[in-house]
Amino acid sequence: MSVDISRLRVDIGRTAVVDDVTMHIGAGERVGLVGASGSGKSMIARAMLGLLPLDARASGHIRYGDDGAGDDGSDGSGLGVDALACGEETMADLRGRYVSTVFQDPATTLSPVLTALQQVTLPLRRHYRMTRGEYAERGMATLQRVGLDPMLADHLPHQLSGGQRQRVAIATAIVTSPRLLIADEPTTALDAIAQREIVDLLVGLVDESGAAMLFITHDFSVLARATRRCYVMRSGRMVEAGDTSSLLGAPQCKYTRHLVDAAERLTLHGAGATAPGADRADDVGNTRNEGADDARN
């Protein structure tokens, strides 16, 4: 599955939280979307999923290309759609079956009353008809695939560590063999060791399956590990795009250079490599014109 986003704009009230964004994710490609908190990254993901806030207004196009690679041997009849033009019924079929998401905090996405195995089988029950035994078999196989101890399959979320909960969330996202995985800040709530494990797990899973991945983050330390190409966001606008290694090594945009340099300084001081000044750098309205200027520098 490929995704082409063209001239995407999302307004909430009088504020353009995403403004004239164009980007492409090729089939099987790992693409990053990076920027400080509040830059519009997650709003793009919500637009892609058809899950914008009720008071949001969107224009432009988000076209899903059909690669004909459905896991059930179908011709991808649920694909080839524009997320901003199709109805909720089409998007509901797309979500969880062809496009899946791993969010920042699994505690907010996992049901507190369902076991790990029950969580993983939910997307299967929504999209496929199977016997109870087939649901359980595929669910267990997927939990093992993400490295969760089978003894934990009957555990509730509060009985699992943060890293284990995120593995359950990832298993829930991939159990239907989606063609696109959107990972929205999937490592932010984890410690450094768990972060590396989760990033490596995600990369291995999508490379093995041939799925595409959009990896959304404000953490520059994981970009090189997770992506081959990336886009930089500032205050709702795209300010730079390119190969991840080239962008991190020799950014062309002044704003990107500022973020990369600051992240390197933070890393040297052992404070991580997140995009700094989130509250200041992405004050929508105060920095929009400056961000547009940076895109040309």
- Per the CB < 8 A criterion, the answer to whether 123 and 195 are in contact is no
State residue 67's pLDDT score: 60
State residue 217's pLDDT score: 92
- Per the CB < 8 A criterion, the answer to whether 108 and 157 are in contact is no
Instruction: Please give the CATH superfamily to which domain 2-98+179-296 belongs.
Output: P-loop containing nucleotide triphosphate hydrolases (3.40.50.300)
- Per the CB < 8 A criterion, the answer to whether 38 and 284 are in contact is yes
Spans of the chain below 70 pLDDT: 67-79, 266-297
Long-range contact list for 69-77, CB < 8 A, 24+ apart? 69/1, 69/27, 69/179, 69/210, 70/98, 70/179, 71/176, 71/177, 72/128, 76/1, 76/179
State residue 270's pLDDT score: 57
State residue 224's pLDDT score: 87
Which residues lie below 8 Å from residue 270, measured CB to CB, with a gap of 6+?
none
State residue 267's pLDDT score: 64
What is d(CA 6, CA 238) in angstroms, rounded to the nearest whole number?
12
State residue 291's pLDDT score: 42
What is d(CA 68, CA 213) in angstroms, rounded to the nearest whole number?
17
pLDDT tens readout for residues 122-151 = 999 999 999 999 999 999 999 999 999 999
The residue ranges of every structural domain in the chain are 2-98+179-296, 108-177
Please give the backbone phi and psi of residue 84, each rounded to the nearest 5 degrees, phi first.
-90, -5
H or E segment and range at residue 220:
helix 220-226
State residue 240's pLDDT score: 96
How many CB atoms are closer than 10 A to CB 152?
A: 17
State residue 259's pLDDT score: 85
What is d(CA 77, CA 70) in angstroms, rounded to the nearest whole number?
9
